[in-house]
Structure 1
Amino acid sequence: MLPTATVDDRVLLRQIACLERIDTHLLERLRHEAVTVPQEGEWVAEYAQYQSGGWSTLSLLNDSGEPADVKIKDCAPVETALLQRMPVTRKFLSSLGLRYMWVRLARLEPNSFLWEHRDYDELDELERHRLHVPLMTNSSAALVTGGAKIRLRPGRIWRLAPTHVHGACNLLGPDRYHLILDCYSDDRLVEATANEWLSDDDVVQLPVATQVELDRWYVKAQSLARLGYQQSAEKFLLRLFYERAVPEGLVYDMIASLYDSLDRPAEADQWRSNKTILLGLPQSEGQPA
């Protein structure tokens, strides 16, 4: 029995957990297909507002059969032309016996981020879960959720509750490749989650940001912005989410406040709007009246 994480065990386990292990030989074959079958020009960079750049996907199961159709929605999915060129992956997905909503292959390049966000807010109120199958990763790639940084190790199927605020990063590379399976809840999924676990060595608790640290980050970003490096200032503050445990949405508030201090109301309002969209907040919570 693997030890469970000591960092907010029960809360963190609701957000992220391991379900099953994958045979090493099978993992190597899945990885080979993911790296060699898609062509460079096929990858699609969707959800631009949610990322720094460097995150792209291709669909394996979706509503149209077109690999480049990657914006998820509720549907009874069909195989895409890409999946038909990936027989090992196709057989693996079938073997899991899950009721899929959408399946994508995702690539996160070095020095790339998925900013703090929630998913599924725009979808119907059906019970669904997101499974990650890491195929290729590195020690600088991690998921951040619940104030902790989790390295999603290959060789396991991971369950993520994306309705909780989370983000992802790949700091140094090489490229990170994951299979992302969005699934509807059914008896098979309940069975798969019955013995989920999270190991201590998968989890690094982020230190809680002090007010002194937050003030220091804000002043540094303000200096960058006043020198004309506004995008660098934004990214500097956005990266705070991956280095410190901070209250939900605080980095977006800091960026909006930064533009208020520069007397740039349009940019300040845009970041308040971004907070509403990315965190799935009611209009009144994330935007000015």
Structure 2
Amino acid sequence: MLKSQRLAVLPIDSHGLESELALVDRHDPGGEYDAFTFGSWSAHVLANGSGADSDTAFRPHGDRLSLTELGRRLPGVMSLVTEHFPLDRLQWVRIFSLDDGILAPHVDFLEFAEPGTRLQVPLRTSEESLHSEGNLVYHLRLGEVWKIHTTHPHSARSASGPARLSLCLDFADAEEPVEIRGDLPATQPVRLIDLPEVTEADIEELIGSGPELTRDTLRTSFRRFAALHFERRAPVTAAFDWFLEAARRTGDEVMVDKARAFRTYCIEKRGYREAFDW
């Protein structure tokens, strides 16, 4: 069973937002969270505690929510936020962009004592844009409001083409429900992707490339280990086990240690704004 939950469906007209979403496509947000990303992923900040465009690293705060310059240029997107969601606990408004990319399996909020509540709402998506959690892969449809279970390992993948753009809202307090206004009745079941079970042959084909790994290619090679989970039914964290075994087969203890450390960084322990050194 998914720990993440679909909470509501909003009446989003993607055509009405085309010009604003095109502006997001052209916006350069910097490289925050690059350690987790393979391909093109970025987080665009529309509102935070300071109103500064340079304030891009998520953190809980007690300040009043302030629009950034980008947020002021996206009135249509921000009207969705103010029309449908309460603002008193809202701390961050961002748009996540993913194009021909994949996220390493990860746990959010490891850096902080208490997690908040994270909601995502796709503003532009396709059937090839997928999320995952545990051993399940699922698709977030346009306008669906999802509460992402951020403290359970999860991932996302999107094919090439127009970038998947997802509105991300972070609220204080993980326990208090977020009241959503003006939603529509859900007419379709949650879209789970039916995948064949992973086989030993699948795994051996993947990790058999281990001798080809080098210290220079270790980072880029992780992408294919993360991708198998979206093609075969397997736990999302198995990517780290397969990666470690491939590193072991090289006989290079430095790479073995890096593979272990990357797992720790992604799903076990890391500090605020801690970078991962490949």
Q: Give the Cα separation in 2 of the matches to 1:120 and 1:180.
A: 15
TM-score in terms of structure 1 length: 0.79
In the alignment, which residue of structure 2 is the partner of 1:105? 95
**SS at 1:276 equivalent:** helix
| Contact 1:58-1:69 at 8 Å conserved across structures | no
> Is residue 2:19 matched to residue 1:32?
yes
| One-letter identity of the residue aligned with 2:58 | I
Q: Which of 40, 43, 57 is 1:54 aligned to?
A: 40
| One-letter identity of the residue aligned with 1:54 | S
In the alignment, which residue of structure 1 is the partner of 2:170? 182
TM-score in terms of structure 2 length: 0.82
Unaligned runs of 5+ in 1: 1-10, 283-289
> Mapping of 1:118-137 within 5 angstroms?
118-126=107-115, 128-137=116-125
Q: Which of 93, 103, 117 is 1:114 aligned to?
A: 103
| Contact 1:131-1:158 at 8 Å conserved across structures | yes
Q: Give the Cα separation in 2 of the matches to 1:54 and 1:155.
A: 22
| One-letter identity of the residue aligned with 2:40 | G
| Contact 2:94-2:169 at 8 Å conserved across structures | yes
> Is residue 2:240 matched to residue 1:234?
no
Deviation at 1:248, TM superposition (A): 5.1
Q: Which has the higher helix share?
A: 1
| One-letter identity of the residue aligned with 2:101 | S
CA distance change for structure 1 residues 124 and 186 in 2, over 3 Å: closer, same or farther? closer
Q: Give the Cα separation in 2 of the matches to 1:224 and 1:200.
A: 43
| Contact 1:31-1:135 at 8 Å conserved across structures | no
Question: What do the CA deviations read for 1:217-240 (whole angstroms, capped 9, x no partner)?
Answer: 211x225438x9655643322212
Deviation at 1:153, TM superposition (A): 0.8
CA distance change for structure 1 residues 196 and 66 in 2, over 3 Å: closer, same or farther? farther
How many pairs does the alignment contain?
A: 263
| Contact 1:150-1:204 at 8 Å conserved across structures | yes
Deviation at 1:189, TM superposition (A): 3.1
Paired-residue identity, %: 24
> Is residue 2:142 matched to residue 1:154?
yes
In the alignment, which residue of structure 2 is the partner of 1:203? 192
| Contact 1:119-1:163 at 8 Å conserved across structures | yes
CA distance change for structure 1 residues 124 and 187 in 2, over 3 Å: closer, same or farther? closer
Deviation at 1:274, TM superposition (A): 0.7
Question: What do the CA deviations read for 1:181-209 (whole angstroms, capped 9, x no partner)?
Answer: 1112489835449x997954611133332
> Is residue 2:30 matched to residue 1:44?
yes
**SS at 1:117 equivalent:** coil
| One-letter identity of the residue aligned with 1:50 | F
Deviation at 1:260, TM superposition (A): 2.3
**SS at 1:44 equivalent:** coil
Moved more, 195-204 or 48-57: 195-204
CA distance change for structure 1 residues 230 and 69 in 2, over 3 Å: closer, same or farther? same
Q: Give the Cα separation in 1 of the matches to 2:128 and 2:224.
A: 18
| Contact 2:203-2:242 at 8 Å conserved across structures | no
In the alignment, which residue of structure 2 is the partner of 1:82? 70
RMSD: 2.9
In the alignment, which residue of structure 2 is the partner of 1:141? 129
| Contact 1:170-1:176 at 8 Å conserved across structures | yes
CA distance change for structure 1 residues 144 and 63 in 2, over 3 Å: closer, same or farther? same
| Contact 1:208-1:245 at 8 Å conserved across structures | yes
**SS at 1:178 equivalent:** strand
